[in-house]
Chain A
């Protein structure tokens, strides 16, 4: 019987120490041990990108990595993208551009898009499509996904705090 290993890993800004079997995949560790089910398992064969997370700031497929390999590193999942209750610009852009239908690919799409924009802050449409080649959307939503990423790169995504505040006031006014 293979012996377990003790790992310490930072996930979404919180440090965790756990005993894990060497064969435990990072995606299973995130979902089943930490309860971070925002990261999804799609194909489980390194193709679809639904399980994409950041390892030390760059995108990786967490179904194709062992939890023990993440020891001592920083992992960011879709659940660590928002700040102070405010959606990250990419999350806001996916919402505004209707860049999802069923939503299954969305966490991976957003994590890969964030990695792409870190490496290339102003990608062309072709570069966005190339950058998302490892993420599959089966609702054929690529058009709006590309538009969402482009809107963040171009800085045309709305400031969500302003939008939601206005919406709240309107709703309140309507009730009165």
Chain B
């Protein structure tokens, strides 16, 4: 399968890329940004997308890598999943992201696919949006008017839609450190390399047998990733025991709006969310 014909540019700086986006927009081009291409190229091959112009970010310097920045880590938007899954800083301070990134697709795709690309693609079944939402990350977006930041809670706007507007580029994601927290990403699929039917991202801080704080993200339980706020509230201040966790996890489907498809109907997903939340939190507290 071959994509429709398109013009191609590979800028070397963010400024040059922004200029290309502005020029393409002015010329009436339907322009797409190419990151790792592991979602964009398949949809272009299927001709579900047929941009007239592709701007490849693969040669822009400074968009890839993980840096320690005090209370947070700065993850470049073009950092491949493979690096997120194996980076020592992420393993130490936000292991949830490493674990989730390691479940994306397969090794070849993780070598090419990027952290920022997957977040901007915002597939409801993608494995990075819910964990990133659960960390309360901040998105750094470059545009014609300069740099702006968007909180994770405001970033995912709808089905495959984020706060990154036409003419803008996601450059980095600032993730707070959760050093010492317990975490787990529990993903349910029927076969290897499948998209999540449902998955749950859990981060918990345990103090002396009590769950002091919990942050829970849900994958594929709505058109956007969700925080399981009712579960978080039920866990906070409660005992870090199997019974208390099971009782809290029963709230996991509250406020969700899962789709029905060939992998399962909405009621099945609502049930899965509760089971997987219990498993994820149990694993996060080490039970």
Where the two chains meet, the residues of A that have a C-beta atom closer than 8 Å to any C-beta of B are 1-3, 5, 21-23, 25, 28, 44-47, 49, 52, 55, 58-61, 64-66, 68-69, 112, 115-116, 131, 133-135
Contacts and interface: CB of A to CB of B under 8 A. Distances in A.
Q: State the 4 A-B residue pairs at the shortest beta-carbon distance, nearest first.
A: A134-B106, A22-B8, A133-B192, A2-B5
B56 A68 contact: yes
Nearest to B44: A23
B108 A69 contact: no
A68 B4 CA distance: 15
A64 B105 CA distance: 13
A22 B108 contact: no
A69 B58 contact: yes
B108 A52 contact: yes
29 contacts: A2-B6, A5-B8, A21-B5, A22-B8, A22-B54, A23-B2, A23-B3, A23-B5, A23-B6, A45-B1, A46-B38, A46-B109, A52-B108, A55-B112, A59-B108, A61-B108, A64-B37, A66-B37, A66-B41, A68-B10, A69-B37, A69-B56, A69-B58, A116-B107, A131-B107, A133-B106, A134-B105, A134-B109, A135-B106
Most B Cβ at <10 Å: residue of A55, A64, A115: A64
Contacts, number: 85
A80 B6 CA distance: 31
Nearest to B46: A45
A115 B111 CA distance: 10
A11 to B, nearest CB: 18
Given A22-B54, A44-B45, A46-B38, A3 B7 contact: yes
Contact of B1 (A2, A44, A49, A52): A44
Given A47-B193, A69-B37, A133-B193, A2 B111 contact: no
Contact of B112 (A22, A23, A64): A64
B180 interface: no
Most A Cβ at <10 Å: residue of B2, B38, B41, B192: B41
Given A2-B7, A23-B4, A46-B109, 7 more contacts: A3-B7, A55-B112, A58-B111, A59-B108, A64-B41, A69-B56, A133-B192
A66 B34 CA distance: 11
